[in-house]
Amino acid sequence: MSYISAHVLDASAGVPAQGVSVRLADEAGTVIAEAVTDADGRVGDLGPDRLDPGHYSVTFGSGDYFAARQVASFHPSVSVLFTAADQGHYHIPLLLSPYSYTTYRGS
């Protein structure tokens, strides 16, 4: 199992956000892994089986997602910064709309 997973829901349309690019990077900005959300808006396997303790980011391509649907949006991307402090699994959900977003540590 990957150390990181993600789930994106398009709150404005009430559907999973399929086709959103997702990128995992370390504190220096080095890209560790890239993926695209599936039909259920999920990425179940993003990155290695473990991460060293430290700061990381998961960046979602929200602007491209809305542009492909011909919907104007405010955020070209959404970056979630987080600290990996243990060797547990990190699930990062994103509730997305053209002008706002919400995220939290999922389970």
Reported pTM: 0.93
Q: Which domains does the chain have, with CATH numbers?
A: 4-103 (2.60.40.180)
pLDDT in tens, the chain (107 residues): 458 999 999 999 999 999 999 999 999 999 999 999 999 999 999 988 888 899 999 999 999 999 999 999 999 999 999 998 876 789 999 999 999 999 998 88
Long-range residue pairs from 20-25, CB within 8 A, at least 24 positions apart, any chain: 20/60, 20/61, 20/62, 20/64, 20/65, 20/96, 21/60, 21/61, 21/64, 22/46, 22/58, 22/59, 22/60, 22/61, 23/58, 23/59, 23/61, 24/56, 24/57, 24/58, 25/56, 25/57, 25/59
